[in-house]
Amino acid sequence: MEIGSIQVIVSVFLILAAAGVALCCDFLSRKNRRVGEATAKLELQSQREEEMPVDVLDTPTVTIATPPPLPVPVPAAAEQVPVEEAVPVAIDVEETVAAPNWQKRWRDERPKQWR
């Protein structure tokens, strides 16, 4: 092989290597921009959550009304003792609903220095 052909091969290799480096740099810069946008979005969301009033209850509650109990049948042969009749009353029960996502739980569990 002549010196001219070796020089052409080396030049082509260097051009292809430079193109590969340029593609890697472009990919990394796009990824860096996306990560920066996501970080800014998360910081804004975190600031909004911290600015929410403290007296607002974080976990929603669900109220369940139970139907009145059915009367118990009394056997006919049993001795009847005069007793006041029970009045059926609906009982309301409040149950705490689980946090809708992991972020609220994480916000409460993280150390104070991170808040």
Give, for all 115 residues of the chain, the pLDDT tens digit: 687 889 999 999 999 999 999 999 999 999 999 999 999 999 999 888 888 766 555 566 666 777 777 777 766 655 666 667 777 766 666 666 555 555 555 555 666 665 5
- Domain containing 36: what range? 3-69+89-114
| E strand map for 7-90 | 61-65
Q: Is 82 part of any domain? A: no
Domain count of the fold of the chain: 1
Contact 114, 87 (CB under 8 A): no
Q: Is 78 part of any domain? A: no
Q: Is 96 part of any domain? A: yes
Q: What is the pTM of this model?
A: 0.39
